[in-house]
Amino acid sequence: MAQQQAIADVVGIGAGPSNLGLAAAVHERNKAGYPSLSMAVLERKPAFAWHPGMLLDGATMQIAFLKDLVTLRNPRSPFSFLSYLEARGRLVDFINHQTFFPTRVEFTDYLGWVAESVDASISYGTTVTAVERLDGSGTPDGARWLVRFSGPDGDGELRARSVVVATGLRERLPEWAATGPRLFHNHRLLEHLAAADLDPAAPHRFLVVGGGQSAAEVAQHLHRSYPEAVVECAFNSYGFQPADDSPYANKVFDPAAVDDFFDAEDDVRAELMARHATTNYGCVDLELINELYAVEYQEKVTGNRRLLMRPVTEVRAAAPSNTGVRVELHDRMSERTTTAEYTAVVCATGFRSIGVSDVVSDWGVAPERIRVGRDYRLTIDGEPVPGLYVQGATEATHGLGSTLLSNVAVRAGEILDGLVADTSLTTIAKGA
């Protein structure tokens, strides 16, 4: 049975960093004495978590803590990483640590602290199933959207003046990957390893497919967690390629780069995306590359080889076997194809943004007609759709920072400006 309908000025879909950044901006504005905006966030996970399947011991952030949810928008925000450290009583300890790159465990705790501290109401275990446009703007409460969800108490609906979709990423899997308990995407690594309950003292054999940061992190994790296991890494390049985090290249993530990318001609934008791909894609932190190399080298010295690289190698087929997974591997240089048995295969094969594809699937609008404007409002055939914003799935138009944390703070401020400038919302919020 549908739950009673309520109305919110803003409904956020997804309680990841993007909508938490917006919730922080809304909170600050409300506390500054402006007409209050109510925000409800619907999140399908049962409790706050940030990529929990990859919360590996010691894994660090790929971005400076100063690019938290707020600082680039408002360095005095009470929701900064520094405010979090102070609240947790670790400010001076963190300073002594002398790093810009906290662990993902600590950053997750920061994000959870923000989720608990903002005045937006966050409903967990609640999956949005559809977003429907209400007819006309003449509804008595000013609602323009009906957000349908499935929650812990069954199906429900929420009326909204505006909706901000920030549903994050979906796992990208190769065609040969029929996933199961022993063949899975790295995004669910810890969950699958826990379920497999593998004996750490047994001589397992793992295959990690992919050449990016996640692949390298997974290889290191498996190598450390299963001291008798052999870990093999299959990837397209000749060796792990370092991530370019040098200062000039890093400028592709600057807030100002969004205008540059958005305004550029399509061919220029595409060229820049390709030239700067190794700031984020198919690349690994140099420090981690060096750590893996040192391990492999030491194993060559001792003769106890457990970390093995299979460069320029593609997987052609994989099927469940009695012991795990049987895999056909093709070395593209020697053109030799071999078959091997693995305890488990981890596909660290990347992601794609979900965007609005799930929530607007019932609209009957061809995907090529849907875009996102510079102000993050959805457009259909170039016409902005009032009160529907998208965070994250804008890499093709807004640049490489779209799926990352780099621009969360500034983007939240821009979306808030849009929400406030929106005539009907302002009118309602002022009680006129």
Ligand X SMILES: Cc1cc2nc3c(=O)[nH]c(=O)nc-3n(C[C@H](O)[C@H](O)[C@H](O)COP(=O)(O)OP(=O)(O)OC[C@H]3O[C@@H](n4cnc5c(N)ncnc54)[C@H](O)[C@@H]3O)c2cc1C
Enumerate binding residues for ligand X (CB under 6 A).
13-19, 42-45, 50-51, 54, 61-63, 127-128, 166-169, 187, 358, 391-392, 403-406
Q: What torsion do the CA atoms of 84, 89, 92, 94 make, to the nearest 10 degrees?
A: -50
Is residue 320 a contact partner of residue 359, using CB atoms and an 8 Å limit?
no
Residue 22 or 234 with smaller CB distance to ligand X: 22
Rg of the chain taking only CA atoms, in angstroms: 23
Query: How far from the centroid of its chain's Cα atoms is residue 112's Cα?
Result: 15
Residue 187 or 269 with smaller CB distance to ligand X: 187
Q: Least distance in Å: CB of 280 to ligand X?
A: 8
* CA proximity to 169, closest of 298, 311, 14: 14
Is residue 244 a contact partner of residue 284, using CB atoms and an 8 Å limit?
no
The residue type found at 270 is A
Q: Least distance in Å: CB of 14 to ligand X?
A: 2
* CA proximity to 183, closest of 306, 342, 350: 342
Q: Least distance in Å: CB of 271 to ligand X?
A: 23
Residue 184 or 428 with smaller CB distance to ligand X: 184
Q: Least distance in Å: CB of 417 to ligand X?
A: 19
Biggest alpha carbon–alpha carbon distance for the chain? 78
| Helices and strands, number each (H, E), in the chain | 13, 19
Q: Least distance in Å: CB of 43 to ligand X?
A: 5
Q: Least distance in Å: CB of 60 to ligand X?
A: 8
Distance CA 7, CA 11 (A): 9
Residue 38 or 353 with smaller CB distance to ligand X: 353
| Residue for token pair 């780069």 | 257
Residue 19 or 83 with smaller CB distance to ligand X: 19
Residue 117 or 127 with smaller CB distance to ligand X: 127
Distance CA 294, CA 222 (A): 16
User: Sign of the C-alpha dihedral, residues 385, 390, 394, 398?
Assistant: positive
Residue 252 or 428 with smaller CB distance to ligand X: 252
Q: Least distance in Å: CB of 252 to ligand X?
A: 12
Q: Helix %, strand %, coil % for the chain, to 5? A: 35, 25, 40
Q: Least distance in Å: CB of 164 to ligand X?
A: 10
Query: What single DSSP character describes residue 204?
Result: -
Residue 142 or 373 with smaller CB distance to ligand X: 373
Q: Least distance in Å: CB of 269 to ligand X?
A: 20
| Residue for token pair 């996970």 | 45
Q: Least distance in Å: CB of 358 to ligand X?
A: 6
Distance CA 162, CA 360 (A): 15
205-209 sheet: strands from edge to edge: 183-185, 344-347, 205-209, 230-234, 307-310
- Helix boundaries (H) for 264-318: 266-275, 286-302
Residue 9 or 106 with smaller CB distance to ligand X: 106
Residue 387 or 392 with smaller CB distance to ligand X: 392
| Residue for token pair 């305004």 | 263
